[in-house]
Protein backbone atom coordinates (compact mmCIF):
# COMPACT_ATOMS: atom_id res chain seq x y z
CA UNK A 1 0.00 0.00 0.00
CA UNK A 2 2.80 2.43 0.87
CA UNK A 3 4.54 1.71 -2.42
CA UNK A 4 1.29 2.32 -4.28
CA UNK A 5 0.74 5.66 -2.50
CA UNK A 6 4.32 6.75 -3.18
CA UNK A 7 3.90 5.90 -6.84
CA UNK A 8 0.64 7.91 -7.09
CA UNK A 9 2.03 11.04 -5.38
CA UNK A 10 2.82 12.81 -8.73
CA UNK A 11 -0.71 12.08 -9.95
CA UNK A 12 -2.21 13.50 -6.74
CA UNK A 13 -0.05 16.61 -7.03
CA UNK A 14 -1.08 17.19 -10.64
CA UNK A 15 -4.73 16.59 -9.76
CA UNK A 16 -4.67 19.16 -6.90
CA UNK A 17 -2.91 21.72 -9.10
CA UNK A 18 -5.38 21.17 -11.92
CA UNK A 19 -8.31 21.47 -9.50
CA UNK A 20 -7.02 24.77 -8.11
CA UNK A 21 -6.39 26.20 -11.58
CA UNK A 22 -9.86 25.27 -12.90
CA UNK A 23 -11.54 26.65 -9.77
CA UNK A 24 -9.51 29.86 -9.99
CA UNK A 25 -10.41 30.33 -13.68
CA UNK A 26 -14.10 29.87 -12.94
CA UNK A 27 -13.91 32.31 -10.02
CA UNK A 28 -12.08 34.97 -12.02
CA UNK A 29 -14.59 34.58 -14.81
CA UNK A 30 -17.41 35.03 -12.27
CA UNK A 31 -19.29 32.08 -13.66
CA UNK A 32 -19.98 30.10 -10.48
CA UNK A 33 -20.30 30.44 -6.73
CA UNK A 34 -18.05 28.91 -4.07
CA UNK A 35 -20.55 26.15 -3.28
CA UNK A 36 -20.67 25.06 -6.91
CA UNK A 37 -16.88 24.95 -7.03
CA UNK A 38 -16.71 22.87 -3.85
CA UNK A 39 -19.39 20.52 -5.13
CA UNK A 40 -17.45 19.99 -8.35
CA UNK A 41 -14.24 19.43 -6.37
CA UNK A 42 -15.90 16.79 -4.13
CA UNK A 43 -17.31 14.93 -7.12
CA UNK A 44 -13.98 15.04 -8.89
CA UNK A 45 -12.14 13.83 -5.75
CA UNK A 46 -14.57 10.96 -5.29
CA UNK A 47 -13.97 9.95 -8.90
CA UNK A 48 -10.21 10.07 -8.33
CA UNK A 49 -10.47 7.98 -5.13
CA UNK A 50 -12.59 5.39 -6.95
CA UNK A 51 -10.00 5.24 -9.74
CA UNK A 52 -7.11 4.81 -7.28
CA UNK A 53 -8.98 2.13 -5.31
CA UNK A 54 -9.73 0.17 -8.46
CA UNK A 55 -6.16 0.58 -9.60
CA UNK A 56 -4.78 -0.67 -6.28
CA UNK A 57 -7.15 -3.64 -6.04
CA UNK A 58 -6.31 -4.76 -9.57
CA UNK A 59 -2.53 -4.61 -8.85
CA UNK A 60 -2.48 -5.34 -5.13
CA UNK A 61 -0.47 -8.58 -5.38
CA UNK A 62 2.02 -6.79 -7.63
CA UNK A 63 2.69 -4.09 -5.02
CA UNK A 64 2.78 -6.63 -2.17
CA UNK A 65 5.28 -8.70 -4.16
CA UNK A 66 7.45 -5.63 -4.81
CA UNK A 67 7.55 -4.82 -1.08
CA UNK A 68 8.46 -8.37 0.05
CA UNK A 69 11.99 -9.82 0.18
CA UNK A 70 12.46 -13.28 -1.38
CA UNK A 71 13.97 -15.89 0.93
CA UNK A 72 15.46 -17.98 -1.90
CA UNK A 73 16.13 -17.85 -5.62
CA UNK A 74 13.11 -20.04 -6.35
CA UNK A 75 10.97 -17.51 -4.47
CA UNK A 76 12.15 -14.60 -6.60
CA UNK A 77 9.50 -14.97 -9.31
CA UNK A 78 6.94 -12.31 -10.18
CA UNK A 79 3.40 -11.93 -8.75
CA UNK A 80 0.84 -14.59 -9.64
CA UNK A 81 -1.73 -11.94 -10.51
CA UNK A 82 -2.83 -11.70 -14.14
CA UNK A 83 -2.48 -8.11 -15.28
CA UNK A 84 -0.34 -6.45 -17.96
CA UNK A 85 2.10 -5.03 -15.41
CA UNK A 86 2.36 -8.25 -13.39
CA UNK A 87 2.78 -10.37 -16.53
CA UNK A 88 5.58 -8.11 -17.80
CA UNK A 89 7.36 -8.23 -14.43
CA UNK A 90 6.99 -12.01 -14.24
CA UNK A 91 8.49 -12.47 -17.72
CA UNK A 92 11.34 -10.09 -16.89
CA UNK A 93 12.22 -11.86 -13.63
CA UNK A 94 12.01 -15.28 -15.28
CA UNK A 95 14.39 -14.13 -18.02
CA UNK A 96 16.82 -12.65 -15.50
CA UNK A 97 16.66 -15.83 -13.42
CA UNK A 98 17.57 -17.96 -16.44
CA UNK A 99 20.51 -15.66 -17.24
CA UNK A 100 21.65 -15.83 -13.61
CA UNK A 101 21.44 -19.64 -13.56
CA UNK A 102 23.42 -19.86 -16.79
CA UNK A 103 26.14 -17.59 -15.37
CA UNK A 104 26.16 -19.55 -12.10
CA UNK A 105 26.45 -22.86 -13.96
CA UNK A 106 29.32 -21.44 -16.02
CA UNK A 107 31.07 -20.21 -12.88
CA UNK A 108 30.70 -23.59 -11.15
CA UNK A 109 32.02 -25.37 -14.23
CA UNK A 110 35.07 -23.08 -14.29
CA UNK A 111 35.60 -23.58 -10.55
CA UNK A 112 35.46 -27.37 -10.92
CA UNK A 113 37.93 -27.21 -13.80
CA UNK A 114 40.22 -25.00 -11.71
CA UNK A 115 40.10 -27.37 -8.72
CA UNK A 116 40.71 -30.34 -11.03
CA UNK A 117 43.72 -28.58 -12.55
CA UNK A 118 45.12 -27.67 -9.11
CA UNK A 119 44.69 -31.28 -7.94
CA UNK A 120 46.54 -32.62 -10.96
CA UNK A 121 49.25 -29.98 -10.72
CA UNK A 122 49.87 -30.52 -7.00
CA UNK A 123 50.00 -34.28 -7.39
CA UNK A 124 52.33 -33.81 -10.35
CA UNK A 125 54.65 -31.67 -8.23
CA UNK A 126 54.57 -34.12 -5.31
CA UNK A 127 55.95 -36.96 -7.42
CA UNK A 128 59.40 -35.40 -8.05
CA UNK A 129 59.51 -34.24 -4.43
CA UNK A 130 58.97 -37.83 -3.27
CA UNK A 131 61.68 -39.03 -5.65
CA UNK A 132 64.16 -36.44 -4.35
CA UNK A 133 63.23 -37.36 -0.77
CA UNK A 134 63.92 -41.06 -1.48
CA UNK A 135 67.25 -40.19 -3.06
CA UNK A 136 68.52 -38.20 -0.08
CA UNK A 137 66.93 -40.15 2.79
CA UNK A 138 70.06 -42.29 3.28
CA UNK A 139 72.45 -39.41 2.82
CA UNK A 140 74.09 -37.65 5.72
CA UNK A 141 75.55 -34.19 5.92
CA UNK A 142 74.39 -30.57 6.11
CA UNK A 143 73.60 -30.22 2.35
CA UNK A 144 71.20 -33.16 2.40
CA UNK A 145 69.60 -31.95 5.64
CA UNK A 146 69.02 -28.55 4.06
CA UNK A 147 67.53 -30.18 0.96
CA UNK A 148 65.21 -32.24 3.19
CA UNK A 149 64.07 -29.11 5.01
CA UNK A 150 63.31 -27.34 1.76
CA UNK A 151 61.40 -30.40 0.54
CA UNK A 152 59.25 -30.23 3.67
CA UNK A 153 58.52 -26.56 3.01
CA UNK A 154 57.59 -27.29 -0.58
CA UNK A 155 55.31 -30.14 0.47
CA UNK A 156 53.49 -27.94 3.01
CA UNK A 157 53.15 -25.17 0.45
CA UNK A 158 51.62 -27.57 -2.06
CA UNK A 159 49.24 -28.92 0.59
CA UNK A 160 48.14 -25.36 1.42
CA UNK A 161 47.40 -24.70 -2.25
CA UNK A 162 45.56 -28.01 -2.58
CA UNK A 163 43.37 -27.55 0.50
CA UNK A 164 42.66 -23.90 -0.35
CA UNK A 165 41.40 -24.96 -3.77
CA UNK A 166 39.27 -27.75 -2.29
CA UNK A 167 37.70 -25.55 0.37
CA UNK A 168 34.87 -24.39 -1.92
CA UNK A 169 33.97 -28.01 -2.72
CA UNK A 170 34.35 -29.22 0.84
CA UNK A 171 30.95 -30.95 0.87
CA UNK A 172 32.16 -33.35 -1.87
CA UNK A 173 35.35 -34.31 -0.05
CA UNK A 174 34.84 -35.11 3.61
CA UNK A 175 34.40 -38.36 5.51
CA UNK A 176 33.34 -38.07 9.13
CA UNK A 177 34.23 -40.87 11.52
CA UNK A 178 35.11 -41.44 15.16
CA UNK A 179 38.75 -40.60 15.76
CA UNK A 180 40.86 -41.28 18.80
CA UNK A 181 42.34 -37.88 19.59
CA UNK A 182 45.60 -39.16 21.15
CA UNK A 183 46.31 -41.40 18.17
CA UNK A 184 45.63 -38.59 15.72
CA UNK A 185 47.87 -36.09 17.54
CA UNK A 186 50.71 -38.61 17.76
CA UNK A 187 50.39 -39.38 14.06
CA UNK A 188 50.53 -35.70 13.04
CA UNK A 189 53.41 -34.83 15.38
CA UNK A 190 55.32 -37.87 14.12
CA UNK A 191 54.95 -36.64 10.53
CA UNK A 192 56.39 -33.28 11.64
CA UNK A 193 59.33 -34.72 13.57
CA UNK A 194 61.85 -33.18 11.17
CA UNK A 195 60.31 -29.77 11.88
CA UNK A 196 60.55 -30.30 15.64
CA UNK A 197 64.12 -31.58 15.43
CA UNK A 198 65.27 -28.81 13.12
CA UNK A 199 63.96 -26.11 15.48
CA UNK A 200 64.82 -28.05 18.66
CA UNK A 201 61.28 -27.77 19.97
CA UNK A 202 59.64 -30.69 21.73
CA UNK A 203 56.02 -31.88 21.49
CA UNK A 204 54.35 -32.80 24.77
CA UNK A 205 51.08 -34.72 24.61
CA UNK A 206 48.81 -34.58 27.66
CA UNK A 207 45.47 -36.34 27.37
CA UNK A 208 43.18 -36.63 30.39
CA UNK A 209 41.52 -39.79 29.08
CA UNK A 210 40.75 -41.70 25.91
CA UNK A 211 38.91 -39.00 23.97
CA UNK A 212 37.21 -39.70 20.68
CA UNK A 213 35.89 -37.01 18.39
CA UNK A 214 33.68 -36.99 15.32
CA UNK A 215 35.63 -35.44 12.47
CA UNK A 216 37.35 -35.96 9.13
CA UNK A 217 40.86 -37.32 9.67
CA UNK A 218 42.38 -35.78 6.54
CA UNK A 219 41.04 -32.27 7.08
CA UNK A 220 41.67 -32.32 10.84
CA UNK A 221 45.24 -33.54 10.26
CA UNK A 222 45.80 -30.61 7.91
CA UNK A 223 44.45 -28.24 10.58
CA UNK A 224 46.83 -29.67 13.20
CA UNK A 225 49.73 -29.46 10.76
CA UNK A 226 49.01 -25.77 10.18
CA UNK A 227 48.84 -25.11 13.93
CA UNK A 228 52.06 -27.04 14.57
CA UNK A 229 53.84 -25.17 11.78
CA UNK A 230 52.76 -21.84 13.26
CA UNK A 231 53.67 -22.88 16.81
CA UNK A 232 57.15 -24.00 15.78
CA UNK A 233 57.73 -21.02 13.49
CA UNK A 234 57.01 -18.50 16.23
CA UNK A 235 58.99 -20.34 18.94
CA UNK A 236 62.36 -18.71 18.41
CA UNK A 237 64.13 -20.11 21.48
CA UNK A 238 65.34 -23.69 21.47
CA UNK A 239 64.44 -26.20 24.15
CA UNK A 240 60.83 -24.98 24.40
CA UNK A 241 57.74 -27.21 24.40
CA UNK A 242 54.56 -27.32 22.37
CA UNK A 243 51.88 -28.87 24.55
CA UNK A 244 48.94 -30.80 23.09
CA UNK A 245 46.35 -31.07 25.85
CA UNK A 246 43.08 -32.91 25.40
CA UNK A 247 40.30 -32.77 27.95
CA UNK A 248 36.53 -32.74 28.36
CA UNK A 249 34.91 -29.47 29.26
CA UNK A 250 31.44 -28.94 30.69
CA UNK A 251 28.89 -31.08 28.89
CA UNK A 252 31.54 -33.73 28.02
CA UNK A 253 32.57 -31.77 24.95
CA UNK A 254 36.11 -32.67 23.82
CA UNK A 255 38.68 -29.90 23.58
CA UNK A 256 42.15 -30.03 22.05
CA UNK A 257 44.49 -27.29 23.21
CA UNK A 258 47.76 -26.50 21.40
CA UNK A 259 49.96 -24.25 23.52
CA UNK A 260 53.37 -22.94 22.50
CA UNK A 261 56.00 -20.89 24.28
CA UNK A 262 56.70 -18.59 21.38
CA UNK A 263 56.80 -14.85 20.83
CA UNK A 264 53.05 -14.45 21.23
CA UNK A 265 50.63 -12.26 19.28
CA UNK A 266 50.00 -8.59 20.14
CA UNK A 267 46.50 -7.97 21.50
CA UNK A 268 45.76 -5.57 18.65
CA UNK A 269 46.33 -8.33 16.07
CA UNK A 270 44.28 -11.06 17.78
CA UNK A 271 40.85 -10.05 16.35
CA UNK A 272 42.22 -10.29 12.79
CA UNK A 273 44.43 -13.40 12.90
CA UNK A 274 41.72 -15.49 11.19
CA UNK A 275 41.37 -13.01 8.31
CA UNK A 276 42.90 -14.13 4.98
CA UNK A 277 46.36 -12.77 4.17
CA UNK A 278 46.64 -11.00 7.54
CA UNK A 279 50.19 -11.35 8.87
CA UNK A 280 50.22 -8.65 11.54
CA UNK A 281 53.25 -7.49 13.49
CA UNK A 282 54.84 -10.95 13.61
CA UNK A 283 54.50 -11.30 9.85
CA UNK A 284 56.96 -8.46 9.40
CA UNK A 285 59.52 -10.26 11.54
CA UNK A 286 59.00 -13.76 10.13
CA UNK A 287 59.27 -13.65 6.34
CA UNK A 288 57.62 -17.06 5.82
CA UNK A 289 54.26 -15.84 7.12
CA UNK A 290 51.53 -15.93 4.47
CA UNK A 291 48.48 -15.10 6.55
CA UNK A 292 46.64 -18.14 5.17
CA UNK A 293 47.34 -20.77 7.86
CA UNK A 294 44.93 -19.61 10.57
CA UNK A 295 42.40 -18.53 7.93
CA UNK A 296 42.27 -22.09 6.57
CA UNK A 297 42.12 -23.46 10.13
CA UNK A 298 39.09 -21.29 10.90
CA UNK A 299 37.33 -22.13 7.64
CA UNK A 300 37.92 -25.88 7.86
CA UNK A 301 36.93 -26.08 11.54
CA UNK A 302 33.76 -24.14 10.75
CA UNK A 303 32.84 -26.58 7.98
CA UNK A 304 33.60 -29.55 10.26
CA UNK A 305 31.38 -28.10 12.99
CA UNK A 306 34.26 -27.38 15.38
CA UNK A 307 34.90 -24.09 17.14
CA UNK A 308 38.41 -22.68 17.17
CA UNK A 309 39.55 -19.91 19.50
CA UNK A 310 42.91 -18.33 20.18
CA UNK A 311 44.50 -16.49 23.08
CA UNK A 312 47.99 -15.12 23.33
CA UNK A 313 50.35 -13.00 25.37
CA UNK A 314 53.45 -11.39 23.96
CA UNK A 315 56.59 -13.03 25.29
CA UNK A 316 54.65 -15.88 26.91
CA UNK A 317 53.08 -17.85 24.06
CA UNK A 318 49.92 -18.65 22.15
CA UNK A 319 47.15 -21.13 22.85
CA UNK A 320 44.73 -22.40 20.20
CA UNK A 321 41.69 -24.38 21.33
CA UNK A 322 39.55 -26.60 19.10
CA UNK A 323 36.19 -27.38 20.67
CA UNK A 324 34.61 -30.41 19.01
CA UNK A 325 30.94 -29.56 19.04
CA UNK A 326 27.94 -29.18 16.81
CA UNK A 327 28.38 -32.25 14.62
CA UNK A 328 24.66 -32.34 13.92
CA UNK A 329 25.15 -31.06 10.38
CA UNK A 330 27.60 -33.83 9.54
CA UNK A 331 26.98 -37.51 8.96
CA UNK A 332 29.06 -39.76 11.17
CA UNK A 333 29.96 -43.05 9.49
Q: What is the 3-state secondary structure (H, E, C) of 95-149?
A: HHHHHHHHHHHHHHHHHHHHHHHHHHHHHHHHHHHHHHHHHHCCCCCHHHHHHHH
Higher-confidence position of 26 and 215: 215
pTM of the shown model: 0.69
Pairing of strands 176-180, 212-216: antiparallel
- Average pLDDT of the chain? 85
Among 303, 326, 332, 309, CA closest to 251: 326
Residue 118 confidence (pLDDT)? 87
Its CATH architecture, for the domain 175-324, is 2-Layer Sandwich (3.30)
DSSP state of 252: T
Query: 3-state class of 298 per DSSP?
Result: helix
28 HSE (CA, 13 A, CB side): 6
Residue 175 confidence (pLDDT)? 86
> Using 50, 70 and 90 to split pLDDT, how confident is the model at 81?
low
> Using 50, 70 and 90 to split pLDDT, how confident is the model at 333?
very low
Question: Residue 277: pLDDT above 90?
Answer: no
Which range has the top average pLDDT, 11-15, 290-294, 306-310? 306-310
Amino acid sequence: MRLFLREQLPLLAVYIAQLLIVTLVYRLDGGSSVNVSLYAAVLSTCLLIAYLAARYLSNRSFYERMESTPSSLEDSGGPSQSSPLADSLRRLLAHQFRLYKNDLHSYRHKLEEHVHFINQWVHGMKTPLSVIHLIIQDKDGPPFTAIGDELDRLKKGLDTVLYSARLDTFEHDFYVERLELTKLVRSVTSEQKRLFIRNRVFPVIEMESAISVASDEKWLSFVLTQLITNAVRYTVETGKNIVFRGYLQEGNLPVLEIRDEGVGIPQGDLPRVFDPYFTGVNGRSFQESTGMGLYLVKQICGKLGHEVTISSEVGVGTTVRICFRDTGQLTIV
